[in-house]
Structure 1
Amino acid sequence: MTSNNNPVIRSLLETDLYKFTMWQALFNSAYNDNETEYRFVCRRPPSMPLAALKDEVVREVEHLCSLTFQEDELDYLRSLRYMKSSFVDFLSIFRLQRRFIRIEGNGDALEIVARGPQVHIMFFEIFVLAIVGELHARRWPQEEALAEGRRRLAEKIAQLKDFAPEAAAAQDLAPFVFFDFGTRRRFSRAWHEEVVETLMAEVPQFFKGTSNVYLAKKHGLTPMGTMAHEYLQTFQAVRDVPLRYFQKAALDAWNDTYRGDLGIALTDVVGMDAFLRDFDLRDAKLFDGLRHDSGDPVEWGEKALAHYAKLRIDARTKRLVFSDGLTVQKSISLWRHFAGRAQTGFGIGTHLTNDFGPSYPALEIVMKLVRCNDRPVAKLSDSPGKTICDDETFLAYLRSVFNKPA
């Protein structure tokens, strides 16, 4: 375990791949001048007041703003075939700016707001979440927590090894693969790496990658990720794009940038039904698959398969990626349901990197885009409690445009 005096973030690669891929798509688009606001939210009351962390968070963010990309990091990004030289050249001179982020205590709550050019401030998100999460976790008795975390990780590995004969029997038809999606809510930097190293050693036949670019580079893993909600939400508030067509505009801009790479589309910004109305034959052929992040996963998957069938596309050539609150057992259950009907993949987050039992609860924190170009944006989630918007009038209008009930 690292010393509490060590900075939480020590490399600008210590973030999720989709921060780079969304950043590049916007950087290379006609919408690279967006002015935006991102806001930190704790969805569930924490066990201790987060405002107590304010001074430490300030120090960590100031350290973060001193970091730059190193030459070997830039070389690694250039080695990813979908990263463009012009974007990596921009990263070579990039540094996060402290003036764009405000950190304050508000009663017991911690208030963090980033405002400024989107192609600058969108990069704060994962770092801020990892900083707050680790500073919070440092308040727990470390050795006791880590002992419980290791015990729980061993149980997960035992589950996977028990499942291995069943998976092996179906390997040719429907391989079971999962990825680490746990950077944003991890217990600590050191624990995150221990989890990844343990999974690589114990279940390499199943563990195939990580969203964390630093760990992917260090351990020779595949960096995983495409887009998040903020990317599609941005197109709710850009010039020349009618609200009704924001999803189409976002998908078109993605295809213009990646030309067939990174082909997993996120479906739940305004709900699966509204997404599928926009996901036409062209998109269904161009994109390799879809990612689930809210609502009932079985119902979602069945809708995806029915949509492919309607378009006369063999769903076995497409991938369904599940990433909403997954556990190992839930992932196995979903694999059993969809095996042989589509390719699958499972992005497991908090259950891998911050599962320490009820005595050490993980924070339920997000940092979301709430305004773009002085206009509100929103996510109409298929899961209760995940809808995010600070403007009820816009929320009602968005629901009416996409015929989604409150």
Structure 2
Amino acid sequence: MEDQAGIIRSILDTDLYKFSTSYAYAKLFPRARGRFAFVDRANTIYPKGFASKVEEQLHKMTSLRLTDEEADFLNRECPYIPPFYIDYLRGYQFDPREVEVCQDEEGHLHITAEGLLYRITLWETPILAIVSELYYLVTGQEPDLEHVRKVTIEKAQIMKEHKLQVSLFGMRRRFSAEVEDTVTQLLKEHAGESLYGTSNVYYAMKHHLRVTGTHPHEWVQFHAAIYGYKMANYMAMEDWINVYDGDLGTVLTDTYTTDVFMQNFSKKHAMLFTSMRHDSGDPYAFVEKAIKRYEELKINPMLKYIVFSDSLTIPKAVEIKEYCASRIPATFGVGTNLTNDVGNDTVPRNIVMKLIGCQISPRQKWHHCIKLSDVEGKHIGDPEEIELAQRTLGIKQ
């Protein structure tokens, strides 16, 4: 079982986009509040008492503080995040009172986090990592570390052979922190320059890697609630540019379907954002849509690139790269297939935590936050609000 230090042992043990999005909320919407909800797509029945164990882990996180070494790393490697926000993180303390955890009579797990968005967004990835690792601990599943080493080196060699550019996006559904640490080290040793970096800020610091990331669905969801579905993508991009002035230039396309996004993707945005991220639906159809839009805007697709991140394996990444060859550059964010391929018939958790509600300030009413997708089964949120969004955007239901 886990020791007294807890599963999450550093404030930096999270994905970069949590800090970048938190700062963006703090700068532009400092009074905005949000509500996140845990979703288990596999409808797992968790062992009795599991919710209490999750709560114990959340309380252990209250002792975490940003160290001088960690602050120095952020200042050095993330110059787009200003010093005052890093000073804020020095004083930041996780508050478990912002989170409610329970199990129903059948054993399904329910988690919600509610509060100021610049604070509450920081709960998402640690909660998912905690649920994933705890599940394996409580059910007595152990990784085959020899298997982990063997398959990771094999994948690293394929990455190197095919000159893939891969970032590790593996925190949220990792088997454990130990496995993510091991995989990160092995990829660094064996993949060479094909390992572009990792989204996990702590392991980027520990292994001297580039820290990578994009903005999340929640940023577009929030803008939809405030500005309406037709303006969501446009305003989300405008505000991201206002905050980061061209840094962190990968734009997420599928919050309200890629087809809708392409209609909102202007010449200005196409010039300022370096890349689009594919996160659901047919990757090959996405390539055609991306190239078509760049060409419509009189931009050479070879000057841009696509970040593919939807349930990738390394062999699948090789196929996609070959399809894109000489048409548009491709890079890859690979997560669960790297940090939860541990043998012993272990099945990765199919879990997410999404923004389901927000208010621009405490005096304003709450709005539903929903996410559509290029895959119908991945829609998240209130069913009536999903229907309203589809009707507003002219999407077939």
Taking structure 1 as the reference length, what is the TM-score of the superposition?
A: 0.92
Aligned to 2:177: 189
Write out aligned runs for 1:191-206 (5 A). 191-206=179-194
Letter in 2 for 1:117: L
Is this contact kept in 2: 1:4–1:138, CA < 8 A? no
Aligned pair 1:55/2:55, yes or no?
no
Over residues 131-150 of structure 1, what are the superposed CA-to-partner deviations in whole Å (9 max), with x where a residue is unaligned? 01111122455656334433
Aligned to 1:382: 374
Aligned pair 1:355/2:346, yes or no?
no
Letter in 2 for 1:235: H
Quick one: distance in 2 between partners of 1:143 and 1:387?
32
Aligned to 1:78: 75
Aligned to 1:126: 125
1:121–1:384: structure 2 CA closer, same or farther, 3 Å change rule? same
Give, in angstroms, the shift of residue 16 of structure 1.
0.2
Give, in angstroms, the shift of residue 304 of structure 1.
0.3
Quick one: distance in 2 between partners of 1:72 and 1:393?
48
Aligned to 2:232: 246
What SS does the corresponding residue of 1:370 show, helix, strand or coil?
Answer: strand
Quick one: distance in 2 between partners of 1:333 and 1:3?
39
Over residues 15-37 of structure 1, what are the superposed CA-to-partner deviations in whole Å (9 max), with x where a residue is unaligned? 000111111111111x2211211
Letter in 2 for 1:122: T
Letter in 1 for 2:174: R
Aligned to 1:401: 392
Give, in angstroms, the shift of residue 152 of structure 1.
3.0
Is this contact kept in 1: 2:157–2:191, CA < 8 A? no
Which shows bigger deviation, 101-110 or 291-300? 101-110
Quick one: distance in 2 between partners of 1:51 and 1:314?
56
Give, in angstroms, the shift of residue 405 of structure 1.
1.4
Over residues 109-163 of structure 1, what are the superposed CA-to-partner deviations in whole Å (9 max), with x where a residue is unaligned? 11111111111111000000000111112245565633443343244235445xx
Letter in 2 for 1:274: V
Aligned to 1:306: 292
Which shows bigger deviation, 323-332 or 351-360? 351-360
1:50–1:350: structure 2 CA closer, same or farther, 3 Å change rule? farther
Is this contact kept in 2: 1:50–1:110, CA < 8 A? no
Quick one: distance in 2 between partners of 1:76 and 1:198?
22
Write out aligned runs for 1:301-380 (5 A). 301-357=287-343, 359-373=345-359, 374-380=366-372
Give, in angstroms, the shift of residue 339 of structure 1.
1.9
Quick one: distance in 2 between partners of 1:5 and 1:37?
29
Quick one: distance in 1 between partners of 2:20 and 2:47?
31
Aligned to 1:136: 135
Q: How many positions carry a matched residue from both structures?
A: 389
Give, in angstroms, the shift of residue 299 of structure 1.
0.4
Letter in 1 for 2:59: E
Is this contact kept in 2: 1:51–1:110, CA < 8 A? no
Aligned to 2:207: 219
Letter in 1 for 2:372: L
Greater than 6 Å deviation, 4+ residue runs: none
104, 107, 125: which one aligns with 1:106: 104
What SS does the corresponding residue of 2:312 show, helix, strand or coil?
Answer: coil
Q: Percent identity between the aligned chains? A: 33
Letter in 2 for 1:38: F
Letter in 2 for 1:337: Y
Quick one: distance in 2 between partners of 1:50 and 1:231?
34
1:363–1:287: structure 2 CA closer, same or farther, 3 Å change rule? same
Give, in angstroms, the shift of residue 54 of structure 1.
1.5
1:144–1:263: structure 2 CA closer, same or farther, 3 Å change rule? closer
Which shows bigger deviation, 202-211 or 149-158? 149-158
Quick one: distance in 2 between partners of 1:156 and 1:225?
21
Letter in 2 for 1:256: N
Quick one: distance in 2 between partners of 1:124 and 1:51?
23
- What are the ranges of 5 or more consecutive residues in structure 2 without an aligned counterpart? 360-365
Quick one: distance in 2 between partners of 1:129 and 1:300?
28
Give, in angstroms, the shift of residue 201 of structure 1.
0.6
Quick one: distance in 2 between partners of 1:180 and 1:119?
25
Over residues 198-222 of structure 1, what are the superposed CA-to-partner deviations in whole Å (9 max), with x where a residue is unaligned? 0111111311100000001111111
Give, in angstroms, the shift of residue 358 of structure 1.
7.0
Aligned pair 1:277/2:263, yes or no?
yes
Quick one: distance in 2 between partners of 1:11 and 1:130?
13
Aligned to 2:383: 392
What SS does the corresponding residue of 2:337 show, helix, strand or coil?
Answer: helix
Letter in 1 for 2:176: S
Quick one: distance in 2 between partners of 1:243 and 1:338?
31
Letter in 2 for 1:157: A
Over residues 286-342 of structure 1, what are the superposed CA-to-partner deviations in whole Å (9 max), with x where a residue is unaligned? 110100000001101110011001111011110100000000000000000102222
What SS does the corresponding residue of 2:193 show, helix, strand or coil?
Answer: coil
- What are the ranges of 5 or more consecutive residues in structure 1 without an aligned counterpart? 168-174
Letter in 2 for 1:105: Q
What SS does the corresponding residue of 2:18 show, helix, strand or coil?
Answer: helix
